[in-house]
Chain A
């Protein structure tokens, strides 16, 4: 028995020793590579810097890319980009929009933004970052192919795709295809309607801002929804689950999720109501503190180029560039009736809108 203990003890000790060594190596190795672009005293990074200035326009080095796109989409984009620019190593951080922006803002608070390129959510989010002076102004040569209302005139961000918020219905429960948003406010459908919460979903907050600024809807529409016992859930994914699962019959949802589920065979249908749809554009922008502006610019140009837009379509999104075919089940941008509002104003009133919504829905 005692021998066994001794053995166990030795094992523990050697494990601890191994851990300490491992942690030491890892930290040392990482700090050398992680700090290379910033440090100038380090000889190896000095050489790297010299190489960069020699081949001035060459696109090389590492590029830190923060995004909220789904994993597979981000991977496809990076793959295609590195095929074209094999000397760039793209480092990815992918998470929810909230997590990505929080991390970015925390980095800014700590005094050192690590991201080079950012691709998330919607225009008002970028307006906020622009106002905090975190974004670089860049006039992309591809800019004139992007509708003016879907990009920043100062070039700090560009829309990359069109994601409309449309209506999803459960086909086993709804036999007649509705064509208007008003069906959600119809008392006949009381308790059967579901929407993502603007308090948690950035896209839903954007939709709230846009819809309440339309004459046909306004806050009255949301009052009617409340009277109709609308269920407010965390995000678009939850809306899809509830409607596909049959818990609810109607929902407001971002179009590609519904189209995808429909094609995979879920019992749902996607409808673009005749009044029009609010769209978010998942803009892309370059961070002001970027360590590698050449690669960052090349990346943005690539995303907006015909090649990049075809890639977006092949993944399942409506391209923002005119003349590129959307995937099956979605309508092209020139056939979409877009409801919009000024992003600067939306950014300003977003908090107030959300608060009003929270009090309206939760104030019981």
Chain B
């Protein structure tokens, strides 16, 4: 098979050289390759290098003294140990929940799939400090859970305390499972059902079908989502800050913040050393993911098949209670905790009729001039970021998968690093780079909204790359070869064959990029300037000023808006599909 394909490839290449079939000549391909390497290198790798240089920079020239100092510190190793446990644990949790929920939603006859889909995305939209706050009220030492437990037991009893490493693992797992869920879902719909039937009819049990057929075929999506969950947990600051600090537990991301916030003369250098550690872990994770995906199988591809493949029968009611119980606990309760705070006159008052007010919502809508500007800015930034990421990310994923280039591998790794670094660190790298990118050249983007755009694209491109890659990996290259042999030019091949096939993964990625950049907080809080405030900056400011009731009101509005947008999109897609089937 491989040799046959290789011979076809060389035929095609010789044709390409002759410039027939409308292919660009080979030299143009090489030029494009180097040009894109240069662009990606400049936007993604260069800022990281500028940052890394800080770690070896001292007053007396280059030296490893900061590395030695940080690596000798006992706290670094404790934090690294905690980080690895937290990240590994939460990734496993995200994988179990994400894959399980995706399988149930894609294949079974469970009811209310649209709602499940919407609610499963909530943890991703609700700011993590809200979720964390809701959980401390639920499972803190004096939270509801432990109060009930104590009442039932008739004595002081702490059933589970959310503060600590176990709480960090659970909450990060719950916050990042939507990444696994979304990427897996897109892939599951594409698995041809005849393969599963074939396995069933040859006597395989349902779990065997799942393990031997579904899992290997869905691996591109699962591994991609798993990697994103892994990397998201690495850079997560909010959850370990909230749940770890009171218990004296630090992870690398909180340690970095601590260093930067210390403002000492060597603060940046030590933060840069710690960032190197984080980056190394992220790259190792990326490498591991590729080792796993290498075993993935691609097969005859078909378009989305959303029919029911597995009837739950009498078990349906149990599965439904389980799923809805889970969603209630992880999506609805945090949302209502937030909503409930937003309705109260002053933080901490009991929820009684005389304390309930809509003034907080009114304040964030009308009482503040910059609110509208911030929403417009964020929408604009998120839109442009999504557009750029969809194009660049898909092309990069395509190049990475279709060629066995080490260059492409390296570039993909490089693109994942900005996402794994805490927002604060990436923001600093952006400042260092963009005031004067090259000696004597200041492009004037610093202090404007365009720097935020550059930062968003740099940070979130990996979301698109992984999502697009999950479907690109699933489409066997025979499809493209067939189109090529039938005489389709590069453009025609993309337009009428590849794009429709890649669309689910591309849309998933676009969706993720849009949502994350819409509510991005840390990078914007470092890079914004007059007139360029974003939604995240507004929430951050309100929260920092201690105006919790306002910040929760704003977040509630944001969640409602996004929820409406998702519901609208869902409705449009259903109409579209119905029309498509009439045609």
Mark A residues whose CB is within 8 Å of B: 1-2, 5, 9, 15-16, 19, 22-23, 26-27, 30-32, 34-35, 70-72, 91-96, 98-99, 101-103, 105-107, 109-112, 114, 125, 128, 132, 170, 197, 199-200, 202, 231-234, 236-237, 240-241, 243-247, 257, 260-261, 264-268, 350-351, 354, 358, 361-364
Contacts and interface: CB of A to CB of B under 8 A. Distances in A.
Given A70-B541, A70-B545, A114-B447, 6 more contacts: A9-B495, A26-B448, A105-B263, A112-B436, A245-B347, A264-B345
B260 to A, nearest CB: 5
Contacts of B257: 98, 200
B151 interface: no
A266 B391 contact: no
Interface in B461-487: none
Interface string B419-459: 00000100110011101100000111111111001000000
B155 interface: no
Contact of A106 (B431, B442, B541, B580): B431
A244 B548 CA distance: 12
B357 to A, nearest CB: 11
Nearest to B448: A30
A256 to B, nearest CB: 9
A244 B260 contact: no
19 contacts: A1-B580, A16-B391, A23-B450, A26-B450, A70-B544, A72-B545, A94-B541, A99-B525, A99-B526, A102-B424, A114-B447, A200-B241, A200-B245, A237-B544, A237-B548, A246-B348, A261-B346, A264-B345, A265-B355
Given A231-B246, A266-B347, A361-B248, A27 B263 contact: no
A285 B296 CA distance: 60
Contacts of A351: 262, 264
Contacts of A19: 384, 387-388
A236 B391 CA distance: 44
Interface in B366-404: 370, 384, 387-388, 391
**Interface majority SS (helix, strand, loop, mixed), chain A:** helix
Nearest to B271: A102
Contacts of A202: 261
B544 A30 contact: no
B443 A31 contact: yes
B263 A99 contact: no
A5 B500 contact: yes
Contacts of A27: 443-445, 448, 450
A31 B448 CA distance: 9
Contacts of A26: 448-450
A35 B442 contact: yes
Contacts of B245: 197, 199-200, 232-234
Contacts of A15: 387
Given A102-B428, A107-B431, A232 B348 contact: no
A234 B241 CA distance: 7
A240 B545 contact: no
Contacts of B427: 99, 102-103
Contact of A114 (B137, B446, B526, B528): B446
B4 to A, nearest CB: 31
B221 interface: no
B138 to A, nearest CB: 12
Contacts of B46: none
B349 to A, nearest CB: 6
A107 B526 CA distance: 12
Query: Which 4 A-B residue pairings sit nearest by Cβ, starting from the closest?
Result: A31-B444, A244-B348, A362-B248, A70-B545
B457 to A, nearest CB: 11
B526 A103 contact: yes
B206 interface: no
Nearest to B73: A355
A93 B531 CA distance: 10
Contacts of A232: 245-246, 248
A266 B580 contact: no
B242 A234 contact: yes
B263 A101 contact: yes
A67 to B, nearest CB: 11
A354 B262 contact: yes
- Indicate the member of B391, B431, B528 with the most A CB atoms within 10 Å: B431
Contact of A96 (B75, B431, B444, B544): B544
A128 B266 CA distance: 12
Given A245-B348, A266-B348, A237 B543 contact: yes
Interface string B294-334: 00000000000000000000000000000000000000000
B265 interface: yes
Contact of B346 (A22, A92, A233, A264): A264
A96 B263 CA distance: 13
A30 B453 CA distance: 14
- Indicate the member of B54, B427, B428, B546 with the most A CB atoms within 10 Å: B546
A354 B257 CA distance: 14
Interface string B512-541: 000000000000011111100000010011
- Indicate the member of A26, A128, A246, A362 with the most B CB atoms within 10 Å: A362
- Indicate the member of A92, A237, A257, A267 with the most B CB atoms within 10 Å: A237
Contacts of A236: 546
- Indicate the member of A71, A105, A247, A260 with the most B CB atoms within 10 Å: A71
A112 B346 contact: no
Given A31-B443, A111-B436, A112-B435, A261 B580 contact: no
